[in-house]
Amino acid sequence: MQIGLDIGRQYVKMVVVEKTREGLKLLNVDSKLIPEKNKSFDPENIDTPLIVMAVKELINRMNLKPKHLRNLTTGISGSNISIKQITTMDMSTDELKTSMMFEARKHMPMDGTDAVIDYQILGPNRFEADKIDVVLVACTNGVRTSHQKLLKEVGLKAEIIDSEPIAIMNAYLQSHQFSEEGAVILLDIGAVSTSLVVWGEQDLFFTRDIPRGTHDLVKDLAKKRSITYLEAQDYLRNEGIAALEVEPAEDSSLIAVTERSSLDIFLEDVRRTLRFYTKNSKQSFFSALFLSGGGGSINGLKEYMEEKLQIKSQAMNPFANMEMKDNSSIEDPSQYTVATGLAVRKGFEA
């Protein structure tokens, strides 16, 4: 049994899978809201006790026992880590570990404290026969210690502490196949930030943490409609992207300066990131965009992104290719992308 625990800013989510002869079987999946019910979400007021309580309630609801949770993988958000693809000599595991520490110091900005590194081998470099491509992940010891302390308060100990962008990539690899040409875009939209991952089978791996999420959309909607945060949350859930559309001025003869919406700003962040990727990787063809996370299933977002970016878009289903227990159906599988990527992590260990 392998367990992935995704501790977000607004929800905690857990996915439990097991290996079978045919592949993977989904045993259990669930989520729990962190803030108190019927209270507006405020990312600045989500204290550790609320997170601890939410994780404990989720574990209890899934009929699991903290002391028996082995093979547990959790994740650290993209804003707290550095991720970079590098090319290095093909070498033994011990030599590679030593080399990765040197590469981390050389390539990645650190805050002066001890670095904690991990890596995942992507495969042979397509240009040089004796070299391999590796995704190098680094964070500070302080970030890891803080995460471990949170888990300890819940009564848990993670076998692996992964990074959310790598989990998103692993969820994709488990459930989908690369197209022969072009890179794919993985866009996991959370409450306060979005993980953007771009990668192709023959292309550069790149990730960026965009500091915008569904919280910005709800705040924007509440302000423009002069409604409460909770009303805006329900409005967005029911109406989708249409709720954010700006109504035309009553007098068409007047020239008005339209304020950019949070959705416009979010889209521009995505565009800017893709331009940066194209410049650095020389890959300008994107075969598909996959939406996931709590905001990935907003009604109309898939069509909006497809129209604005001219890239085929669809919701990510991390449970594709998995055997489902009791043929159960799951509402909005895309929100469990990170948790699924964490759960299947052991199958992608370097």
pLDDT mean over 171-179: 86
Residue whose token pair is 């999420």? 213
Neighbours of 102 (CB within 10 A): 11
Assign 350 a pLDDT band (cuts: 50, 70, 90).
very low
Ranges 4-8, 204-208, 213-217: which has the least confidence: 204-208
Question: What pLDDT score was predicted for residue 258?
Answer: 56
Assign 137 a pLDDT band (cuts: 50, 70, 90).
confident
Question: What pLDDT score was predicted for residue 40?
Answer: 82
Question: What pLDDT score was predicted for residue 37?
Answer: 73
Does domain 178-315 sit in CATH 3.30.1490.100?
Answer: no
pLDDT mean over 311-340: 88
The string of pLDDT tens digits covering residues 275-315 is 999 998 888 899 999 999 999 999 999 999 999 999 999 99
Q: How large is the C-alpha radius of gyration of the chain?
A: 21
* Closest C-alpha to 163, from 208, 218, 213, 229: 208
Give whichever of 92-96, 247-251, 266-270 has the largest mean pLDDT.
266-270
pLDDT mean over 159-188: 89
Cα-Cα-Cα-Cα dihedral sign, residues 154, 6, 238, 263: positive
> Do 74 and 7 touch, CB atoms closer than 8 A?
yes
Q: CB under 8 Å, gap of 24 or more: what pairs does 231-240 form?
A: 233/41, 236/298, 239/299, 240/298, 240/299, 240/300, 240/301
Question: What pLDDT score was predicted for residue 261?
Answer: 82
Question: What pLDDT score was predicted for residue 349?
Answer: 57
Residue 69 has pLDDT above 50, yes or no: yes
Question: What pLDDT score was predicted for residue 347?
Answer: 66
Question: What pLDDT score was predicted for residue 328?
Answer: 65
pLDDT mean over 66-83: 83
Residue 112 has pLDDT above 60, yes or no: no
Side chain identity, residue 204 = L
Rounded to an integer, what distance in angstroms lies between the CA atom of residue 347 and that of residue 175?
Answer: 13
Assign 235 a pLDDT band (cuts: 50, 70, 90).
very high
At residue 250, φ and ψ (nearest 5 deg) are -65, -40
Tell me the three state secondary structure of residue 320: coil
Rounded to an integer, what distance in angstroms lies between the CA atom of residue 157 and that of residue 168?
Answer: 22
Describe the strand order of the beta sheet including 82-89 as a list of residue ranges.
82-89, 131-140, 115-124
Helical (H) or strand (E) element with 250 = none
Q: Name the average pLDDT for the chain.
A: 86
Q: Give me the helix-helix angle, 301-309 and 262-281, nearest 10°.
A: 50
Domain ranges of the chain: 178-315
Residue 56 has pLDDT above 50, yes or no: yes
Residue 203 has pLDDT above 70, yes or no: yes
Question: What pLDDT score was predicted for residue 246?
Answer: 60
- List helix spans (H) across the chain: 48-61, 93-107, 141-154, 164-175, 214-225, 229-239, 262-281, 301-309, 337-343
Assign 210 a pLDDT band (cuts: 50, 70, 90).
very high
> Do 6 and 12 touch, CB atoms closer than 8 A?
yes
pLDDT mean over 132-154: 88
Question: What pLDDT score was predicted for residue 26?
Answer: 92
Question: What pLDDT score was predicted for residue 130?
Answer: 86
